[in-house]
Amino acid sequence: MNAPQPALWIDIPALRAVSRCADELGVSAYVVGGYVRDCFLGRRTGHDLDVVVLGDAEPLARAASKALGGSKVSVFKSYGTAHTKTPVGELEFVSARKESYRSESRNPTVEPGTLKDDQLRRDFTINALAIGLHAAEKGHLLDPFEGVQDMEKRLLRTPLSAEETFSDDPLRMLRAARFAAQLNFDLAPDVVDALSSQAERIKIITGERVHEELNKLLKAPQPSIGLAHLYTSGLLAHFLPEVAALAGVDEVEGHLHKDNFWHTLEVVDNVARVSDHLWLRWAALLHDIGKPVTKRFVRGTGWTFHNHEFVGGKMAKKVFERLRMPLNEKMALVVKMVQMSSRPIAVVSDDATDSAVRRLLFEAGEDIDLLMQLCEADITTKNPNKKKRYLENFQRVRSKLVEVEEKDRMRNWQPPVDGAQLMDWFALTPGPEIGLLKNAIREAILDGEIENTFEAARVFAYRKAVEIGLTPATPL
């Protein structure tokens, strides 16, 4: 590995300011963690920094924040940390410390320690690298656990034993899976073993922390790497049992179905190749979770999964609630994608009506392109002829969508007549008649019975009103 030059390690505004302030205060300070790791890996993904201080971290945090024009400094004295946001990035300062843990909590008891004590408490050797910022050690790399060698080997190891590391803070197990996916690193054998032996410990981690790590994992270039580690270790079953339950193949009378877990991982990776949309990746992960509970074997037919999309959508909502994920439009999008994940295939055939395409556009709305990406990602057959045929089918769907959209303007469509107009035309107050008329207009337009115009809808409304016994207040 070509190591970066020492001057480059600290040649950014934030580190220059911290270095200068450390010298003025006469304290020893080191930048540690992700910034140093990413320098070696050539990632340099941002300027958010972790700084270890020998002694009290607060004075250096305040001085550096002032020098960089930062906001107020948040101090957490029980943990010896201080945090500030500046125009050039967020900085976290921590007093070098030792940690000890209680079995029921991932929150440590801390006491002052040396730099090596602080490096020992880090999750992985590649995150335990430190670079001096003060005059005596400026630019000097401290790598007591051979983290640079591990980066060269593309290997995740822990400074302490993996069992102790994960038992102390079980969230680190999710971080192991996440880093494996982000960096395409292997896990050391003892790390793999510890993921399994300590899997039960993940129960003390809150849903918020779990889904935050899962979000980062799903944003990786190839999320399946981390998801596979979570499954094979038994971790996944503790917080996403619906996804873990997809694994396995049943056979009845010689009929088998595919293993929907490994298929799901392929779908997630396929989505990741074409989109960085986090919630579409979540939809890919959850799109088949209704299959295990709807799976039936029917003689003469084989395996069926009737209504698995609808059931899966309801299950996806429960996943969001359990992991304390946002119960807003993000959840609504994932539920919608899961429940509509088989819909486009219904309009593949040449004789598919414009009405079917119109309804698909109406129900998908602005999310139709995301839905099509998910459906195309769902093609995981290894048969090249089948794959070619399926992709051609979806291209035909896209063409139909464009044709109907241009003709009928159905994307994010609202009926051209609203309730207030209906009440005015027929002297009505809010009630079931208004809903009946609005639904009838909508269905007539979606079925192609009338054009998607105000005048056509008005004429239809008057005709429908007479059918149900309403008397117009104004003439047509």
Distance in angstroms (rounded) separating the CA atoms of residues 438 and 447: 14
What pLDDT is attached to residue 71?
81
Give the model confidence (pLDDT) of 57-111 as tens digits: 999 999 999 999 988 899 988 788 999 999 988 999 999 987 655 555 556 666 7
Residue 413 has pLDDT above 60, yes or no: yes
> How many residues in total does the chain contain?
476
Residue 24 CB: number of other CB atoms within 10 A?
11
The residue with greater pLDDT, 399 or 49, is 49
Q: What is the number of alpha carbons within 13 Å of residue 34 lying toward its C-beta?
A: 15
CB distance 419 to 438 below 8 Å = yes
Per domain, the residue ranges of the chain are: 6-153, 419-467
At residue 374, the pLDDT reads 96
Residue linked to tokens 């505004």: 13
SS3 call for 136:
helix
Mean pLDDT of 415-434: 89
Query: pTM score > 0.95 for this model?
Result: no
Res. 347: pLDDT tops 60: yes
Radius of gyration for the chain, computed over Cα atoms and rounded to the nearest angstrom? 29
- Partnered with residue 130 across adjacent β-strands are 32, 142
pLDDT tens string 447-464:
888 888 899 999 999 999
pLDDT at 350: 54
pLDDT(47) > 80: no
Question: Domain 6-153 is of which CATH architecture?
Answer: 2-Layer Sandwich (3.30)
3-class DSSP state of 156: strand
The listed range with the strongest mean pLDDT (40-49, 77-86, 267-276, 452-461) is 267-276
Question: What percent of the chain is predicted at pLDDT more than 90?
Answer: 61
445, exposed or middle or buried, with CB in 10 Å at 0-12, 13-18, 19+?
buried
Find the angle CA(203)-CA(204)-CA(210) to the nearest 5 degrees: 75
Round to whole Å and give the CA distance between 283 and 415: 29
Paired with 74 in beta bridges are: 83
Q: Can you tell me which residue has the tokens 């997809």?
A: 246
What φ, ψ does residue 75 adopt, rounded to 5°?
-115, 135
What is the C-alpha separation between 415 and 396, in angstroms, rounded? 27
Q: What is the mean pLDDT of the chain?
A: 89
Q: How confident is the model at residue 250 (pLDDT cuts 50, 70, 90)?
A: confident
Residues 420-427 have a mean pLDDT of 90
Say what percent of the chain tops pLDDT 70: 91
- The pLDDT, as a whole number, for residue 390 is 84
